[in-house]
C-alpha cells in the first residue's frame, strides 16, 4: 500500500500522471482531498473509505487506487478496469443530513465528474445520463456510486466512489460497444489523472454544500444543460416508457407517459429507446 499524507509521499506503483495529485489537490484549497491515500491495489476504494470512516478518518479523506480486485457499480453490478488506465477513487464526506439528501448528492457527484471530464475534453460534448452516468458520444466514460453511512434514519456520511475511463483504448468485449475513455475521445491530448481528480474534488466540495444546504435549485441549470435524456424516449427496467422531461427537486427523473401523466422515477436503470422520441 502506498500512502500519502500532506508533505509525505511514497509513490512506487502509482502512474506518473497520478503522482502529483496530492499537491495539485492541496493547491485548490478545498476540504475534499485534504488527505489522499494513493494505493496500488485494493478490493475497492469504497471499501477503503468505509473502513476509514469507521476508524475516524476526517471529512474529505480520499482513497485512489491503480487497481481494484472487486470494484462495484450501481445496481449491484461489478466495475472492472485495467490497472493503471482509470481514475478510481472514493471520497469520504462527513455530511449529517436526512436520507432525502442522497438522490441530490448522487446527482451533483455526477455533475462534478461530468464537468471535470469536459475540462479534459475541450470542444467535446460530455453529458450526464440520470442519475449520474457520464457519457461521451452516447458511450459511458465514467460512473459514480454513492453509498451512505447511516445511524438510524440519519445519514452521517457518504462515500462517493468514482470510476473514470482515462487511458483505456481497448475494452472487454461485453462492454466495448457501450464504453469509451478520455483517451479515445481526444487522442491528441494525453489526459492527466491528477488534474481530473483535483477538478472533481474541487467542484464536488462546492456542490455538496449547496445541495445539502439548499437542495437542487442552484444547480438545476447545470443539470439541465448536460442532460443526455431530456426529450428522448426512455424505458425503465420494469418496462414503463415515456419521454424524459427533466429532474425534479427531489432528484427524481420526470417522465411524460403516453397517457399524458408526468411520472417521477426515483430508482433503477433507465434505457434510451433508440430510434423513437
| Nearest alpha carbon to residue 247 among 235, 255, 238, 236 | 255
Stretch that binds ligand BTN, among 22-30, 67-75, 105-113, 189-197 (CB under 6 A): 67-75
Q: Is 198 within 8 Å of 23 (Cβ atoms)?
A: no
What is the distance between the alpha carbons of residues 68 and 126, in angstroms, rounded to a whole number?
26
Q: Which of 4, 74, 114, 230 binds ligand BTN (CB under 6 A)?
A: 74
Q: Does 46 contact ligand BTN by CB under 6 A?
A: yes
What is the distance between the alpha carbons of residues 213 and 60, in angstroms, rounded to a whole number?
18
| Nearest CB to ligand BTN, comparing residues 72 and 139 | 72
| Nearest CB to ligand BTN, comparing residues 73 and 84 | 73
Backbone angles phi and psi of 205, in degrees to 5? -55, -50
Q: Is 124 within 8 Å of 156 (Cβ atoms)?
A: no
| Nearest alpha carbon to residue 78 among 16, 123, 145 | 145
Residues 138-157 that bind ligand BTN (CB under 6 A): 143-145
Binding mask 257-276 for ligand BTN (x = CB under 6 A): --------------------
| Nearest CB to ligand BTN, comparing residues 22 and 243 | 22
Please state the closest distance from residue 263 (CB atom) to ligand BTN, in A: 23
Q: In the numeric block, which cell numbers belong to residue 44?
A: 475497492
| Nearest CB to ligand BTN, comparing residues 147 and 241 | 147
Count other C-beta atoms under 10 Å from residue 112's C-beta.
27
Q: Does 106 contact ligand BTN by CB under 6 A?
A: no
Residues that bind ligand BTN (CB under 6 A): 44-46, 68, 71-74, 77, 79, 88-90, 133, 143-145, 161-163
Amino acid at each position: 500500500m502506498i500512502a500519502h499524507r500532506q508533505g509525505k509521499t511514497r509513490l512506487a506503483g502509482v502512474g506518473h500522471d497520478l503522482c502529483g495529485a496530492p499537491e495539485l489537490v492541496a493547491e485548490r484549497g478545498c476540504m475534499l482531498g485534504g488527505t489522499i491515500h494513493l494505493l496500488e491495489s485494493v478490493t475497492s476504494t469504497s471499501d477503503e473509505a468505509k473502513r476509514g470512516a469507521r476508524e475516524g478518518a476526517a471529512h474529505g479523506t480520499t482513497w485512489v487506487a491503480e487497481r481494484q480486485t472487486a470494484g462495484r457499480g450501481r445496481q449491484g453490478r461489478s466495475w472492472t478496469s485495467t490497472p493503471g488506465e482509470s481514475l478510481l477513487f472514493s471520497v469520504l464526506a462527513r455530511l449529517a443530513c436526512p436520507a432525502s439528501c442522497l438522490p441530490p448528492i448522487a446527482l451533483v457527484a455526477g455533475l462534478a465528474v461530468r464537468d471535470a471530464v469536459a475540462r479534459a475534453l475541450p470542444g467535446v460534448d460530455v453529458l450526464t445520463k440520470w442519475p449520474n452516468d457520464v457519457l461521451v458520444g452516447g458511450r459511458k466514460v465514467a460512473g459514480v456510486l454513492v453509498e451512505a453511512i447511516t445511524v438510524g434514519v440519519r445519514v452521517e456520511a457518504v462515500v462517493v466512489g468514482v470510476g473514470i475511463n482515462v487511458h483505456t483504448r481497448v475494452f472487454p468485449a461485453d462492454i466495448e460497444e457501450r464504453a469509451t475513455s478520455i483517451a479515445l475521445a481526444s487522442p491528441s491530448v494525453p489526459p492527466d489523472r491528477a488534474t481530473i481528480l483535483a477538478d472533481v474534488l474541487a467542484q464536488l466540495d462546492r456542490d455538496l454544500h449547496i445541495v445539502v444546504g439548499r437542495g437542487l435549485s442552484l444547480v438545476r441549470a447545470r443539470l439541465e444543460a448536460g442532460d443526455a435524456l431530456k426529450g428522448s424516449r426512455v424505458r425503465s427496467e420494469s418496462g414503463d416508457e415515456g419521454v424524459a422531461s427533466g429532474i425534479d427537486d427531489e432528484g427524481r427523473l420526470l417522465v411524460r407517459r403516453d397517457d399524458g401523466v408526468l411520472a417521477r422515477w426515483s430508482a433503477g436503470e433507465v434505457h434510451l429507446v433508440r430510434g423513437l422520441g
